[in-house]
Amino acid sequence: MEMIRIFAPATVANLGCGFDIMGMAIDGVGDVMEVSVGEGTGLAIKNSSDVALPDDVEGNVMTPAVRALLSAYGQNKRVEINILKKIRPGSGIGSSAASSAGAVVGVNELLGRPFGAVRLVEFAMEGESLIGGGAHHADNVAPAIMGGVVLIRGYSPLDIIQLPIPDNFYTAVVHPHITVTTCEGRGVLPREIPLQTAITQWGNVGGLVGGLALGDMALVGRSVRDVVAEPARKHFIPGYDELKHRALAAGALGVNIAGSGPAVFAVVDSMEGANELCEVMKAHFMALGIEADVYPSKISGQGARVV
């Protein structure tokens, strides 16, 4: 069997206002896996990372993603995946998406790239469906595959736009060691929203896209607001309002929940700023007795790839 090694980046979904329709890839943090494809049938997944994952192949998000790809390919193949490094599940920075994205990008590569990026996103979304909560969204898998900042303008059919990345777009991500599953995070969302709430949200989505296109980080920062999911989810994150207040006082241009949480991200316009904000946000959780990992990062233009 031929084998390649894949890196699939962590991602921040929603970017505040863009619930289920926007996401971005971050630099340097992600899954690493070895993917092998050969003649035969069946899928084997081995976990050599230090993160506990479901033992059975059926419970792994990569399984429906790889099956969807092979079914579209129309030929049986044997696929083996060895996970070497894994983003912690339930962190909010796209752990399941990185797995699905890495798996489909790896298999596609070994088959000679029969599918383009949008088809790969469709296959990887099958993995997201497995994690429940009515999830069928691409705001983690699309940036994990394509890199950069993406807008999913429509799901049916899938219409994905890669947005410009300002040169000075950095982020500070903090992951407190508490778990909020996507299923829990979706369960608390309002099913309907008042018109005034929608108007505020539309303004911010437009502002965010405009800020990226204009390279205006101040506009990006003040548009990273969310009046739909953040109010319903923030109670999952200890001291969230205080954390946000501290990060904004320390120079963050905008702060919000990463995906369904519990990770939180801040938008900033320099790497020094990102480092400083990571320290501020980590200190918040440490003071509450909660361990936290931090990821200062430039926004990565690169998605899942052979390394």
> Active-site positions?
128, 182
Q: In what order do the strands lie in the sheet with 292-298?
A: 254-257, 264-268, 170-176, 292-298
How far is residue 220 CA from its own chain's centroid?
18
Q: Which is nearer to ligand HSE, 63 or 140 (CB)?
A: 140
Which residue number has the CB closest to ligand HSE? 259
Contacts of 29 (CB under 8 A, 6+ apart): 9, 10, 87, 93, 173, 295, 297
Q: For residues 77 and 86, which CB has a smaller minimum distance to ligand HSE in the complex? A: 86
Phi, psi of 192 (to 5 degrees): -135, 150
- Amino acid 202 reads W
In the complex with ligand HSE, the residue whose CB is nearer, 64 or 259, is 259
CB of 259 to ligand HSE, least distance (A): 3
d(CA 43, CA 272): 44
CB 274 within 8 A of CB 282: no
Tell the burial category of 90 from Cβ atoms under 10 Å away from its Cβ (0-12, 13-18, 19+). buried
Least distance (Å) between residue 84 CB and ligand HSE: 23
Q: How far is the CB of 260 from ligand HSE (least distance, A)?
A: 4
Please identify, using beta-carbon distances, which residue of 139 and 276 lies nearer to ligand HSE: 139
Q: How far is the CB of 97 from ligand HSE (least distance, A)?
A: 7
What is the contact surface with ligand HSE in residues (CB under 6 A)?
A: 13-14, 19-20, 137, 139-140, 182, 185-186, 229, 259-260
